[in-house]
Amino acid sequence: MKTDIFLYNSLTRQKEKFVPMSEGKVGIYVCGPTVYNHSHIGHGKSYVSFDAIVRFFRFVGYKVFYVQNITDVGHLTDNADEGDDKIEKEARKDRVDPMEIVETFMRSYFEDMDRLGVVRPDISPRATGHIVEQIELAKALVTAGYAYEAGGNVYFDVAKFPEYGRLSGKKVDDLIAGARIDVRSEKHNPADFAIWKKAEAGHIMRWPSPWGDGFPGWHLECSAMSMKYLGQTFDIHGGGLDNQFPHHECEIAQSEAATGKPFVRYWLHNNMVTVNGTKMSKSLGNFVTLKDAFARFDPTTIRFFILQSHYRSPLDYSNGAVEGAGKGLERLKNVIRQLKELGADPMAETDFDRLPEEPVNLRRYYSEWLGAMADDFNTPAAIAVLFEMLKDVNTLIGSGAPMPAGGATLLYGFIRTLAGDVLGIIPSEAGGGAGRKDIEMDLVNLLIKMRADARKGRDFKLADSIRTELQNIGVILEDKKDGTTTYKVEK
RNA sequence: GGCGACGUACCCAAGUGGUAAGGGAGAGGUCUGCAAAACCUUUAUGCGGCGGUUCGAAUCCGCCCGUCGCCUCCA
């Protein structure tokens, strides 16, 4: 391992040194989306954050097994016990099969994540694909006396699990005191939550079970699937802070009651996104979808914006803030472009064990970057280190001093690895002159040549006209010091 | 009402006991036919307010003010 990693464990409310269960390996489960709508900027923050975390673990040398579920049944509109199934509700509205809704939005989700540069999980298990496992878990809980059946529903008996509330810092008594009027008298205790729901007549998504036709409760899937793929006890469970209670609390209760073993060793929770200062939520209807954001900003800019604040800090989304981030990112991209022009070999591997201190002190910058990331994945601090390094690189390039042999390649590889491979904030076509191909590229180059001729003849009126007209269709020309002109395509 | 976070320059945002990172914007400069872009320099004696602990606090403690979140679906 390149370094020890310290992370903030929600369970103990303090930073702890990460010690894996199995040397060199780490198992991570992150709560995935319920696929009944397009993903919003909050999903973006959550999955980009965990993507950076996973990438960093891999960079440091861990073999990571990353599981992230897709919720395609059981998530109700009101809470774990009441309301319609979110997916089934959408399906009714559109008069389609629920699985069509699932398919549509699951694809939409992956499409958005791909654009954000989120590396796909190793497994994306779906709740409907694990009904058997969920029924088995429910049966085990009933058998062990932790759950009971009532009218075709199965509830977890919170009173039997004294640890309930530990993760979120809540007391069952307080919950009961603050609970809404309990209309379901069949529950032993108002705080009990459903692990299996009876399917009423007309309910589309249903499966046979020992308690009659029904469907699994939302919390149950994460227990069943995480333990199936990662074991009864595993290293890291992540998710949004809003799921800490009740979702994760319920997962712990179900899992530990069933196995008698600790469920998760480190809990990681990312903070929420607000929009112009207020919370974004589906019920308020003020959420910004990622597709909305992409219509305005480059996905890499969104990713950069997200990683410029800490995953445990709230993030306020506003056009101005993202624009500012985008301009900062341009500097990074520009350096990449310049290093390419200086002949950097993009394929060369970087040896991080043998970094030079001259002419840029890469050894020091690497050490600082690594320290920031290892300290609870402090991506904003890590990015700041990269920008400090950028200043040195720019000074070096601007000084006109000869670049040492392999210098451009080394600097390029350094940035490429830390900013690109780990943080994912360098788009794959970074710094390339062209954003379009073939004939369009040739046409632009033709116009550039015509403009160069006009300038040579001091016909600045024509030259400026060409520049302006190109700008009007989104092609920005930039005259270089050596007399050449490059262009970039505006998003 | 219960629980928990947070409040750092014009904006965004690191920093959890040793004397304020980074980005944007602004200002000055280099370059340029001009422009754009790029690059360089610069911008908080102070970290919501008032007390306290300490040789020393943005960092710890107390109170107050303000914002946000969870307690009901949400990443």
Q: Is the pLDDT of residue A340 over 50?
A: yes
Mean pLDDT of all residues in A270-295: 81
Q: What's the Å distance between residue A400 CA and nucleotide B20 C1'? A: 34
Identity of the amino acid at A341: E
What is residue A177's predicted lDDT score, i.e. its pLDDT? 55
The radius of gyration of chain A from alpha carbons, rounded to an integer in Å, stands at 27
Distance CA A11 to C1' B62 in A = 28
What local confidence, expressed as pLDDT, does residue A437 receive?
Answer: 52
Average pLDDT over residues A349-361: 91
The CATH code of the domain at A293-422 is 1.20.120.640
Query: How high is the pLDDT of residue A174?
Result: 67
Cα dihedral: A217, A192, A228, A51 (round 10) = 80
Asked if strand B comes closer than 7 Å to A483 Cβ, the answer is no
Residue A354 in this model has a pLDDT that exceeds 80: yes
Residue A5 contacts strand B, CB under 7 A:
no
A54 CA to B42 C1' distance (Å):
39
ipTM > 0.85, yes or no: yes
- Which residue, A114, A115, A91, is CA-closest to A103? A91
Q: Where are the domains of chain A?
A: 6-270, 293-422, 438-489
Least confident of A39-48, A220-229, A276-285, A452-461: A276-285
Q: What is the dihedral of CA A326, A269, A285, A70, to 10 degrees?
A: 100
Q: Which nucleotide is nearest to A485 (CA to C1')?
A: B37
Within 7 Å: CB of A395 and strand B? yes
Average pLDDT, chain A: 88
Name the pLDDT band for A310 (thresholds 50, 70, 90).
Answer: very high
| Tokens 């939409």 belong to residue | A108
Rounded distance, CA A429 to CA A365, Å? 25
- From the CA of A372 to the C1' of B8: give the distance in Å: 19
N residues, chain A: 491
Q: For A128-186, what is each residue's pLDDT tens digit?
A: 999 999 999 999 999 999 999 998 999 999 989 988 988 888 877 766 654 544 445 68
Percent with pLDDT over 70 in chain A: 93
pLDDT level of residue A435 (50, 70, 90 thresholds)? very low
pLDDT at position A78: 65
Residue A491: per-residue pLDDT: 55
Q: Please tell me which residue, A444 or A215, carries the higher pLDDT value.
A: A215
Q: Tokens 């002159």 sit at which residue?
A: A433
Residue A320 pLDDT: 87
CB atoms within 10 A of CB A433: 17
Give yes or no for CB of A289 within 7 Å of strand B: no
Neighbouring-strand partners of residue A20: none
Which of A178, A205, A201 lies closest to A190, judged by CA?
A178
* A15-CA/B61-C1' distance, Å: 22
Measured CA A394 to C1' B31 distance, in angstroms: 15
Please tell me whether any atom of strand B lies within 7 Å of the Cβ of A325: yes
Count Cβ atoms within 10 A of the Cβ of residue A252 and give its class: 0-12 exposed, 13-18 middle, 19 or more buried: buried
Q: Residue A430: pLDDT band by 50, 70, 90 thresholds?
A: very low
Q: Measure the CA angle with vertex A424, ends A29 and A347; round to 5°.
A: 120
Lowest-pLDDT range, A152-166, A220-234, A290-304, A435-449?
Answer: A435-449
Q: What is the pLDDT of residues A258-273, one digit of tens each?
A: 999 999 999 999 998 8
Binned at pLDDT 50, 70 and 90, residue A431 comes out as very low
pLDDT of residue A120: 96
Assess whether A380 (CB) lies less than 7 A from strand B: yes
Q: Which nucleotides of B are covered by protein (CB under 7 A)?
A: 1-5, 11-15, 21-25, 31-41, 67-75
Q: Write the class of the CATH domain A6-270.
A: alpha beta
> pLDDT tens digit string along A369-410?
999 999 999 999 999 999 999 999 998 888 777 788 788 999
Contact assessment for residue A349 and residue A28, using Cβ atoms and an 8 Å cutoff: no
Q: What is the pLDDT of residue A81?
A: 61
**CA A306 / C1′ B51 distance in Å:** 38
* DSSP bridge partners of A155: A148, A194
> How far apart, in whole angstroms, are the C-alpha atoms of residue A362 and residue A385?
11
Res A77: pLDDT? 72
Strand B lies under 7 A from the Cβ of residue A37: no
Confidence of residue A82 (pLDDT cuts 50, 70, 90): low
Mean pLDDT for the stretch of residues A411-432:
82
Kindly determine whether the C-beta of residue A17 is less than 7 Å away from any atom of nucleic acid strand B.
no
Question: What's the CA–C1' distance between A57 and B40, in Å?
Answer: 37
Give tens-digit pLDDT for A210-240. Answer: 999 999 999 999 999 999 999 999 999 999 9
A168 touches strand B (CB under 7 A): yes
Instruction: Give the CA A331 to C1' B42 distance in Å.
Output: 19
CB A169 within 7 Å, strand B:
yes
